[in-house]
């Protein structure tokens, strides 16, 4: 659980056990029931979460329709990033879909951490780059691949989500009509 975070960080920058302990001290463990709304439109996002177990979705409302932009499970980072980074009110809801545990870091602590050493400033730069890249790659995937290709790619990489997430949410996340989503299910690798 705590090792997941270390493994995650080591993908980007070498972190020793001592440094990792120091980093953990800036975070707080948080725990939520399922269907807990962590952030609403108009709130300023105070936290970014590294999920150790559970599942969180981020969405906004287009008239009455929920548009899901993120589904993040254990091992991923989520929060209303734009609001967290700018201090401006969130346009999004952030909500747990399952009971969820996470290491959370507040805006204030993160600023303090960055200010405390160049090493953390560098980690911050690399993580921000990573966050940007993930978003940019997804945008490129949406442009370059057909509905069918996006469905197959995502569902093969996240087979567990079909059991964990209501289909209409998966369809919204993939920007596919619910009817089309149902029809595409036969494309999944039989397990």
Contacts with other proteins by CB under 8 A lie at 60, 62, 67, 69, 81-82, 85-86, 91, 114, 118, 121-122, 124-125, 128-129, 131-133, 135-137, 139-140, 143-144
Min CB(57)–other proteins separation in Å: 15
Min CB(78)–other proteins separation in Å: 13
Q: Which is nearer to other proteins, 14 or 144 (CB)?
A: 144
Min CB(56)–other proteins separation in Å: 17
Q: Which is nearer to other proteins, 140 or 162 (CB)?
A: 140
Min CB(113)–other proteins separation in Å: 12
Q: Which is nearer to other proteins, 28 or 111 (CB)?
A: 111
For every residue of the chain, DSSP letters joined together read -HHHHHHHHHTTS---HHHHHHHHTTSEEEEE-TT-EEE-TTSPP-EEEEEEESEEEEEEEETTEEEEEEEEETT-EES-HHHHHH-SPPSSEEEESS-EEEEEEEHHHHHHHHHH-HHHHHHHHHHHHHHHHHHHHHHHHHHHS-HHHHHHHHHHH-TTHHHHS-HHHHHHHTT--HHHHHHHGGGSPP-
Q: Which is nearer to other proteins, 86 or 167 (CB)?
A: 86
């Amino acid at each position: 659980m705590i090792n997941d975070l270390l493994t995650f960080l080591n993908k980007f920058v070498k972190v020793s056990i001592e440094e990792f302990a120091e980093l953990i001290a800036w975070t707080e463990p948080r725990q939520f029931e399922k269907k807990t709304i962590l952030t609403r439109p108009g709130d300023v996002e105070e936290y970014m979460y590294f999920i150790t177990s559970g599942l969180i979705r981020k969405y906004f409302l287009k008239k009455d329709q929920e548009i899901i932009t993120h589904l993040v499970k254990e091992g991923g980072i989520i929060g209303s990033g734009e609001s967290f980074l700018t201090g401006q009110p969130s346009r999004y809801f952030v909500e747990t879909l399952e009971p969820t545990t996470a290491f959370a870091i507040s805006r204030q602590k993160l600023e303090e951490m960055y200010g405390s050493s160049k090493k953390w400033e560098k980690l911050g730069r690399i993580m921000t780059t990573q966050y940007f890249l993930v978003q940019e790659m997804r945008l490129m995937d949406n442009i370059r691949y057909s509905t069918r290709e996006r469905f197959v790619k995502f569902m093969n990489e996240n087979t567990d989500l079909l059991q964990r997430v209501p289909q209409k949410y998966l369809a919204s996340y993939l920007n596919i009509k619910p009817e089309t989503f149902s029809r595409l299910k036969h494309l999944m690798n039989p397990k």
